Amino acid sequence: MNKKMRALNAMDGLAVDRIPVMLYRHYFDQNEDNNVNEYIDWTRKSGIDMLLIQVDGYDGCPIEAKTFTIEDLKNLRSISRNDKFITGQVDRAKRISEALSEEIAIFPVMYTPFNNIKKTLKYAFNNKLDIMKCWEDNKQVILDAMKYAEEANDILLDEYKRQTKVDGVMISFRNGGDDKMESEEYIKYLSEWDHRFLAHANLNFAHNITHLCGWYGGNDISLWKDYDYKALNWDIHVEKNPINSRPLDIVEGRSYFRKDTVLMGGFDNRADTLLYSGTKEEIQLYAKELIRSVGKENFIMSSDCSIDYRIPVERIHWIIEACEEYCK
């Protein structure tokens, strides 16, 4: 069984020869090759079964900050599929998938419209506008800008399907940290955008991943509990079960999320944790205990979020080796 079949079988709840491994990283320094060769090189050296292609270099939306005020978010024109925001991401996914699609499963990462506007204010606007203050004072302006972000996502989804060999996308949801929105308000204003996004992704691809990002702080996991996902990746070292306030680890996730959900996770991606400081024996023991506790079905070994790009690939090899040994 090759890596791609192993990954897609696991996502479909079918038999696998061993637990697939998906550890993913960023490429913060952009190069003239759109980081394509770096992705290909790291994928083959690390031995992972599933590759996540990041949006590095294309964070947020192509909204120009002329005045660095809310005025810049008004009267946005329709985005074209020929915009470099679209073509750059498609180029990266196309060339990577052409090189690797026979070997592994590939998933570009995407963000919800609200979080793309949030990222735009962080990067293009240098944090000179606070998203929650804008939301409070200019809600309709943000909602209109979200239509622009949604259009960009829709085009990207269709271009990924039309031009590339990717297997699906990984959609990142977040509502934790200092800029979190009250859950009732999230449900009222943002949930419908999430459902449209997921519906479009599921129409285009049979295999998609939902990521609940806890990097900036815990979320109200119940917001997304019943979404239409196939595979689910969340921060088991941060999130709490809203029902009993216990840590929402992989085992707890079995009973909390929808039946037959493919669960992804296991390793804390933060600095100085086991993944980076543990010995080979410690890391492999943890990986095997994790499989023993959660079971071999509907499970993909992963991390809470992206791992440090400086991690030696031999540490990833240790995890893969542990999965092979356990599943023999």
Class of domain 3-327: alpha beta
Q: In 194-204, which positions are buried (b, 16+ CB within 10 angstroms) versus exposed (e)?
A: beebbebbbeb
pLDDT by 10-residue block (mean), the chain, 328 residues: 96 95 95 97 97 96 94 94 97 98 97 97 93 96 97 98 98 93 97 98 98 94 95 96 92 93 97 96 98 94 96 97 92
Nearest CA among 99, 62, 60 for reference residue 83: 62
For residue 35, what are the contacts with CB-CB under 8 A and spacing of at least 6? 27, 56, 57, 92
pLDDT in tens, 255-269: 999 999 999 999 999
Residue at token pair 């993913």: 24
Q: In what order do the strands lie in the sheet with 21-22?
A: 21-22, 299-303, 262-267, 231-234, 209-212, 170-173, 105-111, 50-53
Cα angle, residue 208 at apex, residues 87 and 173 outer, rounded to 5°: 80
Strands 105-111 and 170-173, sheet pairing = parallel
pTM of the model: 0.96
pLDDT of residue 178: 84
The SS3 call for residue 269 is coil
Residue 151 backbone dihedrals phi, psi, to 5 degrees: -60, -40
Place of tokens 């977040």: 174
Nearest to 197, CA basis, from 217, 236, 170, 161: 170
In contact, 183 and 222? CB cutoff 8 Å: yes
**How far apart, in whole angstroms, are the C-alpha atoms of residue 242 and residue 34?**
41
**What's the confidence (pLDDT) of residue 79?**
94
**What pLDDT does residue 54 have?**
97
